[in-house]
Amino acid sequence: MTTSEITGTYARVLFDLASVADAVDAADEGLRKIVETVRGSVELRDALSDSAIPGDKKREILSELFADAVSPEAVAVATLVVERGLAGSLGELLSGFGEIAEAERGIIAAEVTTAVPLTDATRASLVDKLTAVLGRPVTLRERVDESILGGIRINVAGRVLDGSIASQLDSMRAALSNASQGGEADSG
pLDDT at 4: 87
pLDDT at 185: 57
pLDDT at 187: 54
Report residue 50: phi and psi, to 5°: -75, 115
Angle between helices 90-104 and 72-83 (to 10 degrees): 140
pLDDT at 184: 59
pLDDT digits (tens), the chain, 188 positions: 888 899 999 999 999 999 999 999 999 999 999 999 999 999 999 999 999 999 999 999 999 999 888 999 999 999 999 999 999 999 999 999 998 998 898 888 889 999 999 999 999 999 999 999 888 899 898 999 998 888 899 998 778 888 888 888 888 888 888 877 665 555 55
Q: At the top level of CATH, which class does the domain 107-178 belong to?
A: alpha beta
| CATH 3.40.30 domain position(s) in the chain | 107-178
pLDDT at 149: 87
Given a contact cutoff of 8 angstroms between Cβ atoms, the answer to whether 18 and 27 are in contact is: yes
CATH architecture for residues 3-103: Orthogonal Bundle (1.10)
